[in-house]
Amino acid sequence: MHLGMDQGFRNGSQKVILDFTDEPSNGDTHNRSETVARLINEGVTYIAISENVTGTHQKKTFAADVGGVWIDIDTAPFEEALDEITGILTSQYTLDYTTCATEHDGTTREFLVFVDDPDIGRASDTGGYTAP
């Protein structure tokens, strides 16, 4: 996984690792906690399609640890798995926001986002961030 990430991602691209296997993991030569932290810190979407095996080095466990998605290769029809992956990859957005309130005062600032989707119409959600 590190090798793939070390190849780099195009600037501004959606970062995705699709880990597709029918074999359980035989362990990892890299530090697992460093790999988990790296995927999370670099905003990588991790999707594993593998056997339903749990354990420290297994794909199902790893996907849960990085906030990714795990799909059971033995029970999910392939077309449904592809539909799920397509849904994940086409429904994510990255928003950049620059505040005009530049004070670093530790307060929580709320914002409202509207999205116009041609299929489902208008949607909105609120969020917030804490100024450092």
CA distance 108 to 129: 6
The correct answer on CATH 3.40.50 for the domain covering 2-90 is yes
Confidence class for position 92, pLDDT limits 50, 70, 90: low
Confidence class for position 122, pLDDT limits 50, 70, 90: confident
Query: What pLDDT digit, counting tens, does each position of 55-75 carry?
Result: 766 888 889 999 999 998 888
Statement: the pTM of the whole predicted model exceeds 0.75: no
Rounded to 5 degrees, what angle do the CA atoms 120, 85, 73 make? 140
> In the prediction, which pLDDT does 47 show?
92
CATH 3.40.50 boundaries in the chain: 2-90
Query: What pLDDT digit, counting tens, does each position of 5-56 carry?
Result: 666 777 767 788 898 887 766 665 567 888 888 888 888 889 999 888 877 6
Contact 128, 109 (CB under 8 A): yes
